[in-house]
């Protein structure tokens, strides 16, 4: 099968891509899912691999009965697939799974590296980071220095390399590591990792990359960029329910003590002492792992490796260029982050429509157009505030005032449309048409909504209860009725 055919067949395989929902006009139709930066849909054949594995399910860490032997082999295969996908030579790198996303990996690495290198008391973090790749470093290290981005106001974004250079010069060998995103979850701005690695290594610091938003959108090559540690969430690359993945140089892991203790990571335990194993990744994977999730993730990565991430990226660039051009041409729409012609970006587009709060935009796109986008500050509050600064000032809101009162949550945020492998040009044409419709019918649509909570909106006549959408209890009742 050609890579083009494989890509097309994968694009059609996603579970839930065409799930139908009702809209305000009384119709029902397939959704357009543009919330992939939060979590992606499940790739069909990868789900099948995980599901079929259940026929042989057993825990790992044993070779002596058939199922455990199969499970151990498949779990090891998943590790190999991760290493291959991120261009990490197994001679130098090791992969381990942790938690249900990237958050566990950052907490682990922050705690372990702070403990392992107490003489280096400074950590650098970019201002674009998701809280997951900021707060663990603040918690575990004496000093965190935030590196600004280039540009200002709505064009703010893309790491300011001059400022980074100056900060490395200033702190030198006090820097333990720099933690930076591979691509922002707000603007999609991509970081030049090889350049950052060279600056870090010049003073003996490590580079930790948050690849959560990069992994499904752009090729990763840890060897070529000389990245020390890379962390990502499996649920952001078409394997919801899979674990987080940490890929680290063996030399780095050799310096740290295992952060989690329990079964599977020790050679022997006595009442008086215990001996953690030297074997990787076992040393870093205490407890019974998420085997099914890891195998599903391995299957996704195998298939995407066959397609080639260059090809995935090329397809996405065409979609980003189209959406950026069309949305920025609409009067009253502000797009955030650097222009993709100037800074490479992944398929994440944040925007506001004049006269609409971000929550209202998200609700109206859902209710009137069956388009699912996210809204808010996306767990990247400092970056979003910087991008919104001018608009908030114009509304007499001080973006930097902690605990500001009033309508601040309703005003402080954006709508975010984020792409996945399944996103088509037609999906984006529908988004552009829907945004135009919201602009054209601003007053009429606004009058249909009432504010709820600190930043939500509810349509006055049309608001199907959550239980009508999916209700596990109802599913069970159906099973029980069939079994009776």
Ligand X SMILES: Cc1ncc(COP(=O)(O)O)c(C=O)c1O
Enumerate binding residues for ligand X (CB under 6 A): 37-38, 101-103, 130, 132-133, 181, 185, 210, 212-213, 233
CB of 36 to ligand X, least distance (A): 11
Cβ proximity of 424 and 404 under 8 Å:
no
Q: Which is nearer to ligand X, 71 or 301 (CB)?
A: 301
In the DSSP assignment, the letter for residue 407 is S
Q: Which is nearer to ligand X, 181 or 296 (CB)?
A: 181
Cβ proximity of 423 and 328 under 8 Å:
no
Q: Which is nearer to ligand X, 83 or 179 (CB)?
A: 179
Q: Which is nearer to ligand X, 132 or 370 (CB)?
A: 132
Q: Which residues of 203-256 form beta strands (DSSP E)?
A: 206-210, 229-233, 244-249
Helix (H) or strand (E) holding 450: strand 449-452
Distance of CA 106 to the CA centre of its chain: 13
CA angle 52, 58, 61 (to 5 degrees): 125
Q: Which is nearer to ligand X, 181 or 448 (CB)?
A: 181
CA angle 204, 206, 212 (to 5 degrees): 165
CB of 213 to ligand X, least distance (A): 4
CB of 34 to ligand X, least distance (A): 15
Transcribe 64-77 into DSSP letters.
SSHHHHHHHHHHHH
CB of 312 to ligand X, least distance (A): 18
Q: Which residue of the chain is nearest ligand X when measured via CB?
A: 101
> Closest by alpha carbon to 311, among 2, 1, 37?
2
Cβ proximity of 384 and 156 under 8 Å:
no
Q: Which is nearer to ligand X, 107 or 370 (CB)?
A: 107
Q: Which is nearer to ligand X, 101 or 337 (CB)?
A: 101
CB of 182 to ligand X, least distance (A): 8
**Structure-derived torsion over alpha carbons of residues 394, 395, 398, 399, reported in degrees to the nearest 10:** -90
Return the CA Rg of the chain. 23
CB of 366 to ligand X, least distance (A): 20
CB of 159 to ligand X, least distance (A): 14
Q: Which is nearer to ligand X, 10 or 189 (CB)?
A: 189
In the DSSP assignment, the letter for residue 235 is G
Q: Which is nearer to ligand X, 141 or 184 (CB)?
A: 184
Residue 206 CB contacts under 8 Å (≥ 6 apart), including other chains: 113, 176, 177, 178, 200, 228, 229, 252
Cβ proximity of 280 and 88 under 8 Å:
no
Strand 122-126 relative to strand 143-147: parallel, antiparallel, unpaired?
A: parallel
CB of 449 to ligand X, least distance (A): 27
CB of 107 to ligand X, least distance (A): 10
């Amino acid at each position: 099968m050609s890579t083009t055919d494989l890509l097309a067949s994968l694009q059609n395989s996603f579970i839930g891509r065409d799930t139908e929902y009702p809209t305000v006009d009384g119709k029902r139709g397939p959704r357009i899912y543009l919330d992939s930066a939060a979590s992606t849909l499940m790739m069909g054949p990868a789900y099948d691999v995980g599901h079929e594995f259940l026929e042989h399910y057993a825990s790992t860490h044993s070779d002596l009965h058939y199922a455990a032997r199969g499970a151990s082999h498949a779990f090891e295969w998943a590790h190999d697939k991760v290493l291959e996908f991120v261009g990490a030579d197994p001679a130098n790198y090791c992969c381990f799974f942790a938690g249900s996303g990237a958050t566990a990996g950052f907490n682990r690495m922050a705690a372990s590296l702070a403990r392992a290198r107490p003489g280096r008391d400074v950590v650098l973090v970019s201002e674009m980071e998701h809280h997951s790749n900021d707060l663990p470093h603040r918690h575990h290290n004496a000093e965190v220095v935030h590196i600004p981005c280039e540009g200002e106001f709505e064009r703010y974004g893309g790491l300011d390399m001059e400022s980074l250079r100056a900060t490395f010069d200033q702190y030198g060998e006090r820097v333990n590591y720099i933690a930076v995103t591979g691509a922002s979850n707000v603007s999609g701005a991509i970081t030049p990792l090889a350049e950052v690695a060279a600056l870090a290594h010049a003073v003996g610091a490590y580079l930790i990359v948050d690849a959560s938003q990069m992994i499904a959108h752009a090729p990763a090559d840890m060897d070529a960029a000389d990245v020390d540690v890379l962390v990502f969430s499996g649920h952001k690359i078409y394997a919801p329910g899979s674990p987080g993945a940490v890929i680290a140089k063996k030399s780095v892991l050799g310096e740290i003590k295992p952060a989690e203790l329990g079964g599977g990571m020790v050679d022997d335990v006595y009442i008086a002492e215990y001996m953690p194993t030297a074997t990787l990744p076992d040393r870093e994977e205490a407890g019974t792992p998420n085997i099914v999730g890891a195998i599903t993730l391995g299957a996704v990565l195998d298939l995407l490796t066959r397609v080639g991430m260059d090809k995935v990226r090329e397809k996405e660039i065409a979609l980003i260029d189209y959406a950026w051009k069309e949305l920025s041409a609409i009067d009253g729409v502000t797009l955030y982050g650097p222009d993709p012609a100037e800074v490479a970006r992944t398929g994440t587009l944040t925007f506001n429509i004049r006269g609409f709060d971000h929550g209202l935009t998200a609700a109206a796109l859902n209710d009137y157009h069956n388009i699912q986008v996210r809204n808010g500050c996306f767990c990247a509050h400092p970056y979003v505030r910087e991008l919104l600064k001018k608009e908030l000032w114009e509304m007499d809101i001080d973006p930097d005032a902690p605990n500001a009162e009033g309508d601040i949550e309703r005003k402080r945020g954006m709508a975010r449309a984020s792409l996945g492998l399944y996103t088509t040009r037609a999906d984006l044409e529908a988004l552009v048409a829907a945004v135009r419709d919201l602009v054209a019918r601003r007053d009429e649509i606004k009058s249909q909504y009432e504010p709820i909570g600190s930043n939500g909106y509810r349509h006055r006549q049309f608001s199907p209860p959550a239980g009508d959408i999916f209700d596990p209890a109802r599913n069970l009742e159906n099973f029980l009725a069939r079994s009776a």
